[in-house]
Each structure stands twice: as C-alpha cells, then as structure tokens.
Structure 1
C-alpha cells in the first residue's frame, strides 16, 4: 500500500521554518561579526574605498556601515526588506546612524530634526529583535512603543503594519477615548507589540487580569522629551516599575533630553547618543522658510482671515493656545466662508472624530485649526504653511510646530504672529543654538481685511457663540498667565479691551485672577479668638496671593465676582473679604468674625489649656494629634455604646413580653361572653346579631373525661346548655352507634 503524500501546506511550513532558522543564524553571525564600536557614529566615518569592507579612522576605530545608504546593506530579514519596498529604499541620516547600533541590541538615545524618519529607526529594530527570537503569540508582549498623543500612536501603528505585514507578529493599538476596553483586555495578553499612550497602558496594567510584561524585550519612547516631562512623570514611573530591568530601551525625539535623572528613570544602560544634526547649522529643516510678523493682539483674527483669503490653494496648519480658541475661530470662519474647507483638532474631541479629521486633512487641501496636540510627530503630507497665531511656550515647542512642514526632502513655510509684548521671543529664536533662521516680515495694513464687525454680528445672531467667545477670551488670558517665561508672556501688557472687541464681545468678561493681579490685591482674613478670665486675644492673619489662585482652564463661569475691598480703617488696617465665587442659587454666608468658644480648661498648675491639648502630643512641637490617645478615646466611646445598646435591647424585650401577655389574655376570654344590656329593654335583633345570641347554640365537650373500663378515656358531654329533646336525640344516636 502506497503511503499518501504529505499535504502541500505542511511541507511548505516545514520549508519556511527551515529557511527562517537559516536566515536567523546568518543574521546573528552578520551582526556579531560587523558590530560597530560603541560610541561611534557611522556618519562620522568616510566612505570606504571600493575594495575595502569597512571605514576606519586614524585612532583605529572603525564602522562597517560607513557609507551605507540602502536598507539592503543592513543585517535585516527578507520579510522586513519586502515590507520596506518599494516606498523605502534609501535610509535617512538618523536611520544610517542608529540602526547599526540598535540592531546589535544597544540602548539608543536618538535626536534628529522633525521629519527625518525617526519612526523607522525604532520600528525596524523592534521587528527584527522579535523575529530573531522566534517570538509567537504564546510568548506574550515582547515590545512596547509609547507615544504622548493618540494621533502619533495611530501613525506609528500604521507604519508598523506596513513594514511588518509579511511577519507573523501580532500588534495592537491601545489609546484612550475608545469604548472597546473589554475587547482589548481579552486580547492584549496575546499581542506581541503594543503601540500605546501612557495612560491606556497603565490602565491595562492595573485592570487587565494576567497582563504580563515580564518577558519584554524592547521598550521605545517616541517624543521622549515630552513623555519624560512633568505631565507624564507619574505614569511613566508606574509603567517602568512593572517592566523587567534587562531589556533594550530606545528614546527618540527632535529635542532630546540628556538629563541623567530622566535617563535613570527609564533604566538606560550605556546608551548610544545619536544626534545626527548636532553639527547642523540650523535646528529646523533646511528647506523651511521661517517668517515672524509683529501683530497686535486685537488684530490677530483679522490678519489670520486675510492670510487665509490670500492662500486659498494652500494646505495650512494653524496653531492656537487653547481648545476653546480653536472651536471659536473654526465656527466663526466657517460662518464667514473664506472659500476653503476648514477643520479643527483639539484634545477635547473624541478619538474617532480626531482620527477622521487627521485623515481628511492629510488627503485634502484645507485649513486645520489645532492646539499643540498636533505639534509633535504627526506626519501631515504636503503642508504648505504652518501659521502660529499664538506664541509657543519655548524654543522646543516652536521647533516641533514648524516641523509639520518641510518634511524629508519637501519644502515649506512658517509664519509666527508675535504681539509687541512678546518681542523677546524673536530675540530668543535668533540666539538659539543651533540657529533658527527666522526673518522679520512687516505687516501690510493695506491688504488687511477687518472682520471684527462681522464677528460681532455673528455673536448677536447666534447667542451660543457669545458664550464660546467669552471662554476663548478667558482661556487665552489664562494660558498666557500660566506660562513660565515671564520675560515673554506678560498678561498685564496685553490690550484686554481691544482683544475682547476683536472677538466680538461688547462687554469685557470679568476674570478674577487677572483683576487681582493688576490691582495688586491681597485677600486678608482676620480671625479673632476671644477667651475669658483675662486671656489675651489672639489674631491669625491668613493671606492668599492672587497669583497662586487658579481657575479651571476650560469650564469657567462667566459671572465671576471681583474681590471687594473693605472700608474699615484709614491707616493701612484694611481687611478685605475673601474673593469667593458665589453660585446663583446658593449663597455662601459665613461669619468670619464669629467667636471661637468660651470654654476654658486649666491644668494642675492653673495654666490655661487649649481645647485640643488634652489629646495632642506633648513631646512634639507641632499640633499633630496623638493617634493612640484618639484610639483610646474611640475605644472608650465604643464600649459605652455597647453597654447602652444592651440596655436598649433588654428594655425592648420586656416591652415585647408584656405585649404578648396582653394578647394571650384577650384570647383566653370565654367566647360566649356578651356585653351587659339594660334589664328594662329586651335585646333587639341587631344586638342579637352582633353578640351571636340569635345563632344556634353549639355543643361543647368538657375537658374532664371518664374511663370506659377498657383503658380508654371517653369525653363527657356537657348538657347544661342543651334542651331535653336534644339530649334524647343525642342519646339515641350514641346507643345506635354502640350496637352497630
């Protein structure tokens, strides 16, 4: 009997496994044999001559990848090369400098300009590391890529799918704002590569059962300077504490940090610092034309409208400070109809809407109003202009914003609006190292189109926009007030009245922190504690500076009360009430001058004891209560309550017992007992019906019984209440039953 041939798929899988094993062995030997020296940059070596295999410097150091510009010249698998082609053939500078080190398993600290190809610089090592380790679904999570924003995480995930589409590795995108958390929890343990934001990853670490990262091989932080700053500090520390110490870690950003403290937090070990543009003349893309224009705050909206009207065939990205500003400008310009599609993107939008807006802007010529949520890492193709209506907070923020255009080999332009009070930002840009080649552009007032009147008409026609305008006004001032660089951002130097008028507001919204800061107001509360028996009055003055008072950034009440000044005293003893925002329906009534009590206690020596001194720690200098004293008192009170509870239960039992006795007494009354009636009047039919007198008499048996001689007891019939005829009838029935 002839044996059946093996199935084609089975033989194909065997051949594929053999081929992969041979390829992995070849790649490992290639990487080990041509490992570059630690601390070297392949870009720093001259290209080797045609007959030489490696580049070598005078001190003996060498780089086998000096002069390598194609991905095919690197020790990467055929599946990865197939995923890279035909879109990616030639490497960028950051890829040429970092890939030889990252493929060897070394930690990387990479810094390069925006749009220089940093995403592929860490995607390729991640895929290759897991491929050479023969990683599968049973091995769990092998690599985690953390991004600061949802849009950037989605972009990385799409690039990962494109490059790794021929591999058998599984990957997942974990970002906040999505409702399918339960579905993620079911599958996250089987994923090999996680592309995520810090908050969502930490949520799965805390909530997902059996979520295990103990076998993690590679950790990547994209836009690492943003992830390591104050905003994500606690989340990153919590994530890193649950990851294994032995792993490969890669950090990439356009403005990379070299702080030892930050690097120690993510457990970097002897990282290779790759800064391909460290010797570059400029910190921004070379093909980027950068303009700066002085624009008064009350004219920014007019200048922006005029700029858009003059560039209707360009793709424009506009940056504003707050979400409310983005919403307001987008709604106003949509109703004014400039002649080009308008879109907005900010952090308060739902995830699916944000991704839809991002995709639409990538595919069309339009204007996108956005906050800094779109300033980092996002690859918007063919952006012609980046317009910064509001000044960036610092130089790195400026670099990230303008990096959305002139990416790779394309060209682009940027325009920055600066108020007269922000002119020092231009000085900082010109003095930056590496240099930022900005050029000052004059405002052409002749081509300026005024739209302030139209904006005011829109606010009258659409009342809901008036509320949005107020919030845009408040949030912008708040953003300026909270900036750290006070040399550039001075809220007192802004033309508040003109800015409100430019937004169409007839009345300037009152904002408390601004009014207090401008007047130099300090809220003072004087609390007097009066005591008897000759004890002197004690006064405690609590001062609260207005500069430390913070309001919510987004949801601010429009009716904000200003602090009231007291008219008491003319010699500097003015006491002002606290600037308290009162609700409309509920008023806060607190008498701050109320007495604190008159009870006075004395110790054994006759000295006055404060009320809390009895349970305070006598050895400490502060007024912290002694926990053991408090606990002892609570135990004493608890025992007293138990004793009182026992007494209450005993009293309740007695009451129930008396109640049951009364009910039994009622049941023991004879059933034939009737109420006494007047002897003169006979019982009426109604009385007989109520008392049961008209009913037929019943036959009752006595409790006593007689023995019938056979050991049985027989009940004796009581005949007191039976007539003679009835007695005879009953006797006959008894006799007949005995004979039968």
Structure 2
C-alpha cells in the first residue's frame, strides 16, 4: 500500500489510544471523520514532537494539524494555570487568530486547559488579567505578543513546549519579520516549533532557520501540476471597465441564494460599493477591510461565517487563512497584486475535504497577459462568457452621484484610490495606468464628468457616449 492509499484509508478514529479520548470526541462533534492530506501526513510527526515545516494549499486543514498534537501534549504533561503558557500560536491577522481560537475552543470542550486570544485592537488590560491567572495556550498576533513578552512580567513562558507559526509567508509579507525574530529570541530554546505556510520561498526558509531546530521534518502536499485545489472551477471574464459595476449587480442578483466574496483593491472601494449595493440595490452584503475597527471586522466576519447566503465585500485582509464555510463564488473585481495573491483569494472557496467552489476574475481586455503569469504558477483559467449586462443599474448610479452628496464623496474617494492602486501596481506592464481610459474608469464609479486627478500626468480623452 503506497502513501496515497494510506491517506485515503485514514480516519481520525485511528488515533484512538494515541490521543486523549476527549479530543477524538470533540473532533467527531465537529462532524469530522477523515483527516485532510496535510493532517494525515503531519500528525504522526508533530505527535512525536518533531519540528515540522508544512507546505500546503490554503484551505487544506492546517489548523487541526497543529491543534490536535498541541492539546494532546499539554494534557499528557498535566498542564494547569500554575504552569503558565505551554503553547503559543502566532497568526498574521486578527481574523485568522480569531478563527484559530474558535477551532481551539471546540477542540477543548470538557478539557481543563486555559486558552486566550491576545490580539491588537483589544484592550490590553483584559490581556493582563488573563495572563496573570495563567494561560496554557495563547493565540496571538505578532505585535501584541512581542509587547507582552517584553513588558508583562507575569507572562510565564518558562515552561513553553511548542511554538506554532501559522501562515508564515503572510507574516513576512505583512512586515512582521522583526517581530517574529524578537519573539523567538525571548522564548525557551528547548521547544518544538511548527511552521505552516501556503508557500515556501527563501524568506520563509530564513525564518525557519531562525526558529526551528537543525533537522525539521518537511511536509509538502503541493500538487505539482496545479497550485489551487482540484474542486475549484475558475475562469476569467474580459470586461470593459465601464461595465464592471453592471456585471457585478447581475452576478449578485443571480447568486442571491449563494455565498459570494468580492475582492476590491482598496478600503475606500469596499466602502463605496458596499454603500451602493446595500442601500440602493437592497442586496444582502457585509464588508471587511483593514481600516475598520476590530469589533466591526470581528462582527462582520462572524456574521458571514454564520450566514447561509449573501455577499462579503472585502480587501485582501480577508484573503489569507480565513476559513468561511460553503463559499460558492470568489469574484476578483479588482486585480490582485501578484499570482500568489490570486491563489490566496480563490483559496477562500473549495476548502477542506471533497469541497467544490467557483471563482472568476474580471480583467480589462488589455490585461489578458496576466494569464501567462498565472500559468507560470500552475494556475490555469477557462475563459468565461456572460450575457451583456443592462445599463439600468449604471444609470441609477449616475443619477445618484448627481443627487446624493454622500455617495458622490464616497465614489470620488474610491475612484482616486482605484487609480492609485493601478499607478503603484507591481505588474505595471499589465495593469498599466497609461493604457487605462480614466474617463471610462470614472464612469465605473458613476461620474459623467471625470473628477480632478492631481497625481497623474494622463491626458483625459473625450468621454465616450
């Protein structure tokens, strides 16, 4: 029997006698019977307390792959509040930390281990109370964790047994390398370290050398022919920029009973489109972006997780690691910064075992060359065709921009943010501000007359009729 057959035959009940029966009971109560591939391949090594580097596509089930062994080890060692923190789980964003924390909460049902979510945006005084009492498992973001390690004297990590670095590539992309380095320097060296990442590049390898012992087990579940999961149907649509909003309206109308995530390039664009579709098109929509308060982001995330259908308008703050059940469609309304960000966006659907999902990216006809960049990353898209949308919703927006000062201000900010994103796009040869008709781009935000642009040296073309 080869490795593929072993994985197919694996089930969580095979862990009976190897992990605490309460863990198995809680896994079953989550409705899980068979481990995903990354879980099946990594669990034996992590349970043996090896350092592990795990590379797996987003949505592959990495969270339980490290939580099960962590909880089992602390139970076996008889950890209590007096022992302090036995495991730290480091996450790149508050949303991902919250998600990990929620899975941990389910796994610890009827298990007497203390645990806490410690992230930026929350009152530090609450953290201090929890840490003083003693927290066995801490789920945290880098800035807040480093702050406590440096300044909170009763944050007891002397007995730390395990450090988990989750979504390591995202941590580095977000500029947390110095934070992680500072954290590692302040933790006991005699510990197990588990590092998970969607991609393993030279920066992640450098982090691994810093944090892990010399002989980590490396586990990769990457399909050599595809960089996205098999159950994902994905394609592109060549859409003139002035028709994008009408296309999105039609898309949302057709998917009223589905869950859809729509990615925009800026926070201001999320705000504008959210306000328009929610208040003037009566669409069921939530929004998440990095400039919202922590409480608002947390509420929107949880509401979308619990929803049976509806749309979430978001920036790439929602592209990494977030496990949202049953997302039917991913719409990339604005282009990602690079092919890897494309992969992370579409990773919000077709998650877990035997799941299906759909994704579409809107490209201007001049941007079709982006497909060759995706092909180089082993991402292959079909070309989709859609019926041309009616101009009814466009006319509604144009009238609104003339009559409604609040919407006009939101639209102007979103339009200028959109242009700035194009101007600074890393793939300038494809997403080229100089090939963009700014008048037609303005029309996409409802403007019949193009607003003043003070940061572009672009000649305005005559407005097309």
With structure 2 as the length reference, what TM-score do the two structures score? 0.91
Determine which of 141, 154, 178 is the counterpart of 2:98: 154
User: Does residue 1 of structure 2 align to residue 70 of structure 1?
Assistant: no
Q: Shift of the alpha carbon at 1:239?
A: 1.7
Work out whether 1:428 is the aligned partner of 2:373. Answer: yes
- Asked whether the 8 Å contact 2:13–2:24 carries over to 1, the reply is yes
What are the residue-to-residue correspondences of 1:430-579 with 2, within 5 Å? 430-432=375-377, 435-445=378-388, 447-515=389-457, 518=458
The answer to whether the Cα contact below 8 Å between 2:37 and 2:60 also exists between their aligned partners in 1 is yes
| 1:414 equivalent in alignment to 2:359 | yes
1:199-214 → structure 2 map (5 Å cutoff): 199-214=143-158
Q: Is the 8 A contact 2:258 2:328 kept in 1?
A: yes
Distance in structure 1 (CA, Å) of the matches to 2:248 and 2:87: 44
Number of the residue aligned with 1:293 = 237
Query: Distance in 2 between the 1:207 and 1:419 partners?
Result: 51
Q: CA deviation at 1:258?
A: 5.3
Whether 1:82 aligns to 2:16 is no
Equivalent residue number for residue 463 of structure 2: none
1:399 aligns with 2:340: no
Task: Tell me if structure 1 keeps the 8 A contact 2:92–2:174.
Answer: no
Give deviations 1:86-111, integer Å, cap 9, x for gaps: 32222111111000101111111112
The answer on whether the counterparts of 2:84 and 2:155 sit within 8 Å (CA) in structure 1 is no
CA distance in 1, matches of 2:228, 2:2: 19
CA contact (8 A) 1:306 1:449 kept: no
Q: What is the alpha-carbon root mean square deviation over aligned residues?
A: 2.1
Match of 1:183 in 2: 126
Shift of 1:391: 0.9
Secondary structure of 1:110's match? Answer: strand
Match for residue 197 of structure 2 among 253, 265, 276: 253
> How does 1:15-26 map onto structure 2 within 5 Å?
none
Q: Which residue number corresponds to residue 231 of structure 1?
A: 175
Summarize the Cα distance change of 1:45–1:426 in structure 2 as closer, same or farther, 3 Å threshold: closer
CA–CA separation in structure 1 for the residues paired with 2:453 and 2:161: 52
Gap runs ≥5 in structure 2: 460-465
- Which residue does the alignment assign to 1:197? 141
Alignment of 1:99-110 (within 5 A): 99-110=43-54
Look up the SS of the partner of 1:195 in the other structure. Answer: strand
Shift of 1:176: 1.8
Q: Which residue among 305, 308, 313 is the counterpart of 1:362?
A: 305
* Count of residue pairs the alignment pairs up: 452
Pairwise CA distance, 1:43: 6.7
Q: Which runs of 5+ in 1 are unaligned?
A: 1-41, 48-65, 520-740
What's the offset of the Cα at 1:443?
4.4
Q: Give, in angstroms, the shift of residue 456 of structure 1.
A: 2.4
Structure with the bigger RCO (C-alpha within 8 Å, sep 6+) is: 2
Alpha-carbon spacing, 1:499–1:46, altered in 2? closer, same or farther (3 Å): closer
Question: Deviation at 1:386?
Answer: 0.7
Distance 1:148 1:230, change over 3 A: closer
Q: State the TM-score, normalized to the length of structure 1.
A: 0.58
Against the structure 1 CA distance between its residues 396 and 213, is the aligned structure 2 distance closer, same or farther, given a 3 Å change threshold? same
8 Å CA contact retained: 1:113, 1:283? yes
Work out the CA distance in 2 between the residues paired with 1:268 and 1:127: 21
1:481 Cα deviation from its structure 2 partner: 2.1
In the TM superposition, residue 314 of structure 1 has moved relative to its aligned partner by 1.8
* Structure 2 CA distance for aligned equivalents of residues 258 and 138 of structure 1: 40
Deviation, structure 1 residue 476? 1.4
**How big is each residue's C-alpha offset from its partner over 1:294-313, in whole Å with a ceiling of 9 and x where there is no partner?**
11222211211121122222
- 1:428 to partner: Cα distance: 1.6
**Distance across 2 between alignment mates of 1:215 and 1:491:** 55
Alpha-carbon distance in structure 2 between the residues aligned to 1:264 and 1:512: 46
Aligned to 2:288: 345
1:44 matched to which residue of 2?
A: 3
Q: Which has the larger radius of gyration?
A: 1
Partner residue of 1:241?
185
Distance 1:443 1:67 in 2: 38
